[in-house]
């Protein structure tokens, strides 16, 4: 598989949703995902005797979840403002706007679930 074919598949799956979902909300959520993965790896490799790493992962993942929903609500408020000022709006434009507003909380939920799986792995490792 050459480089152009790889980017042909990666861009629609990862890059476009990050940009479409609003970089103000999607890129910080991506950073929170990286932080969660690093904390999970640290906890699995070095151990977590006093559960500080689990608590930190839990807090970061909950923040990612809430940050995603904040992006959704701010996007929906802006969308409703645009709809109220427009005379006529097509169902396609409305559907696209709703899809874009759902990208941020969806990514927040993914980060939350990955972090929760990491916490489960840390708990199982302790036993």
pLDDT at 86: 81
Residue 81 CB coordination number (10 Å)? 10
Summarize the chain as % helix, strand, coil (round to 5): 90, 0, 10
Structural domain count, the chain? 1
Contact 41, 114 (CB under 8 A): no
Dump the DSSP string for 25-46.
HHHHHHHHHHHHHHHHHHHHHH
* pTM recorded for the entire structure: 0.82
12: in domain: no
20: in domain: no
89: in domain: yes
9: in domain: no
pLDDT at 109: 96
10: in domain: no
Q: Which residues of the chain have pLDDT under 50?
A: 10, 13
Range of the domain at 64: 28-126
114: in domain: yes
């Amino acid at each position: 598989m050459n480089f152009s074919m790889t980017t042909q598949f990666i861009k629609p799956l990862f890059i476009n949703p990050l940009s479409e979902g609003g970089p103000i909300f999607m890129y910080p959520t991506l950073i929170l995902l990286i932080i969660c993965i690093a904390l999970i790896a640290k906890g699995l490799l070095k151990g977590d005797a006093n559960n500080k790493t689990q608590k930190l992962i839990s807090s970061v993942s909950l923040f990612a979840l809430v940050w995603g929903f904040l992006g959704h609500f701010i996007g929906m408020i802006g969308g409703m403002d645009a709809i109220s000022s427009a005379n006529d709006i097509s169902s396609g434009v409305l559907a696209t706007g709703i899809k874009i507003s759902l990208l941020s909380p969806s990514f927040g939920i993914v980060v939350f679930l990955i972090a929760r799986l990491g916490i489960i792995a840390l708990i199982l490792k302790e036993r």
